[in-house]
Structure 1
């Protein structure tokens, strides 16, 4: 794998979500001594940002934690009081001084002090970001019904021609329309370059790793190493995606306007993009290429074995409601998966976990931890 030249990396865009800011590296063993084997990380804080591919990450966290009997910090419904800042009492079953949780991974507006009340001190904090030049189009399609700034605009092109005409700061729902990632990280509004740099420095203190949406497979490899997980643990299907031809994609000029309008998000992304390429180079291009190839082979084999048609389908083509993804109000269509007929029961359950959308999987985990129903994703299971 040949890494892009430094001058071009910031604009490198891929087809999917996931990658990194800062991998914590193990101490170097003294000469003559083999490095101590690492231990899998099981105390995890994943800040799931919006429209960045976080649903795919959440699926692998759900599967890893469920298989090992880990305790999830779950919201009472599906988000932790978003868009209000996270508070510990939003976690179902939380009580001060009570047993800690192992994994927290559902939507919140980040609030470090409150998260620390819920999670162990040795938790591994990570998140995911995406180029606002493409995220803005996705947010416009997905949140048009709930963001007044988007709803008032007849099209994305019209919005970008005069965003200030449609956008009013402070109106409920309009956080989706400008600097959404900065908002999700709970960062203060920055008025100048010094304030931006200070906010980003604080972010790096809190998060050991931040993923990039544009280099999904490379990211999974680097994430796996950071967590000391086996390779099979990060094999995942893409979740919450749209059809390739669904809706207009942005032109280079529109992407530039989106970055300018979302200037704080662009500063955030540019900072983390540079960190990613430094870490990718430190990992080693050949080594990265080899593990990415194995990951893609494993995913392709799972898709062939598990899925009807071998890939994602429109929601209307998925007969099992437990595998049918939520469809947002408006015109955005979200794809999901149907299982191949004839799978043995054990294989069917395993494949179903790979295909289960986030909301349904959260309900499964809720029933496992708190009771109140069958924890199987399968009808009659």
Structure 2
């Protein structure tokens, strides 16, 4: 009896010693290793976005974007591609990569379109020369129409570099300075691809870019744009534009966060005189831009300046956060430094078109999200095409007559 009592005491003592040792070990390890709950996975980092606390609107799912040339339209195209892709929306796609541009848009240029059966389309966003009556045949009546403009002076500098090999006026001029000094000396109405060389915004909107400037004609064009488009954005104020777009579409912050796509490696600095001459040469575009620059800031005032500053700050912080998570480096790189063909930008014109390299140490799901954010428009269009038209013809081209989803969801 006494012996068993002594053994019980010894066992109890030994147990207490073991428990104290375990507790001490846990305490030491806790100081050197963070708790699991404090670790944030890359997936949570890419998806953790504060949601609006009081949303009274419904996200718009029918969207028509007129993608104008050299105005940051490729970046906007990416966010539309991502939104539609993520939400299973149906795109009005061209047979190739543009809607038979520079010819005026016709509904039959949409892949899978049939005038009798009227397939259901949610988003239209690829290059076209705008033709509202024909667009209405394709898009739902409640579609949200928007476009983007850019100062015609800086736009001309970009266009000269990008389209010099195809525009007759640009090819004739020995350099950009010579073109600025005497544009009419090199420009001939109707010559090949000269719509890039004078009033290209006016042309993309479907108007006559060679028409003599009169205030009456310019005002008539502006009225037509206002009657058709719900929102006109400005390339020079891209972040503010994204906030206005987010609010109008009732989308979330991540829906409008982008990395700049299709940018060039270099650009020329324009003198004040160069800017004035280019604006005068593109008088219709300058009148258009000046008008919608005023209406843009009217919208910002109505939205609230302080509120806009706060929203832009959130957008920029989120972009920086995703860049750190997704990208190799903080600056775009030349295509040769991008090993993945799926995200290499298409090279066209004299300048190097830059793109983004994605980090290789990302989990698969996170990497997919990051890759989508930097996928150029041509490759993304092919991805959407393959989703909407999964059947392949024997020659490898997607069938145009059998869309994967018909009218009526």
Aligned to 1:89: 108
Which structure has the higher relative contact order (CA within 8 Å, separation 6+)? 1
The match for 1:62 among 73, 76, 81 is: 81
Q: Residues 36 and 349 of structure 1: is their aligned pair in 2 closer, same or farther, counting only changes over 3 Å?
A: closer
The 8 Å contact of residues 112 and 119 in structure 2, kept in 1 or not, is answered as: no
Aligned to 1:249: 269
SS of the residue corresponding to residue 45 of structure 1 reads: strand
The match for 2:262 among 219, 240, 253 is: 240
SS of the residue corresponding to residue 135 of structure 2 reads: helix
Structure 1 residue 269 displacement after superposition: 0.2
Structure 1 residue 133 displacement after superposition: 1.3
Aligned to 1:337: 356
Structure 1 residue 250 displacement after superposition: 1.6
SS of the residue corresponding to residue 310 of structure 1 reads: coil
Partner Cα separation in structure 1 for residue 75 and residue 385 of structure 2: 19
Select between 232-241 and 77-86 the one with higher mean Cα deviation: 232-241
- Please list the CA deviations of residues 104-133 of structure 1 after superposition, one character each: whole Å capped at 9, or x if unmatched: 000000000000000000000000000001
Q: How many equivalent residue pairs?
A: 337
Aligned to 2:67: 48
- Please list the CA deviations of residues 31-61 of structure 1 after superposition, one character each: whole Å capped at 9, or x if unmatched: xxxx981110010000000000000100000
Large movers: runs of 4+ above 6 Å = none
The 8 Å contact of residues 75 and 90 in structure 1, kept in 2 or not, is answered as: yes
Q: TM-score, normalised by structure 1?
A: 0.86
The 8 Å contact of residues 61 and 122 in structure 2, kept in 1 or not, is answered as: yes
- Give the gaps of 5 or more residues in structure 1: 1-34, 374-381
- Please list the CA deviations of residues 140-175 of structure 1 after superposition, one character each: whole Å capped at 9, or x if unmatched: 000000001001111110011111111001112011
The 8 Å contact of residues 335 and 354 in structure 2, kept in 1 or not, is answered as: yes
Partner Cα separation in structure 2 for residue 279 and residue 151 of structure 1: 40
SS of the residue corresponding to residue 147 of structure 2 reads: strand
Q: Residues 357 and 265 of structure 1: is their aligned pair in 2 closer, same or farther, counting only changes over 3 Å?
A: same
RMSD over equivalenced CA pairs, Å: 1.4
1:211 matched to 2:239? The reply is no
The match for 1:80 among 92, 96, 99 is: 99
Partner Cα separation in structure 2 for residue 172 and residue 41 of structure 1: 39
Aligned to 2:370: 351
Aligned to 2:337: 317
SS of the residue corresponding to residue 346 of structure 1 reads: helix
- Please list the CA deviations of residues 197-255 of structure 1 after superposition, one character each: whole Å capped at 9, or x if unmatched: 11111110000001100001111001100001111111111111112xx1422222111
1:279 matched to 2:299? The reply is yes
Aligned to 2:246: 224
Partner Cα separation in structure 2 for residue 247 and residue 57 of structure 1: 21
The 8 Å contact of residues 149 and 168 in structure 1, kept in 2 or not, is answered as: yes
SS of the residue corresponding to residue 345 of structure 2 reads: coil
Greater radius of gyration (CA): 2
- Give the gaps of 5 or more residues in structure 2: 1-53, 393-409
1:184 matched to 2:204? The reply is yes
Higher helix share: 2
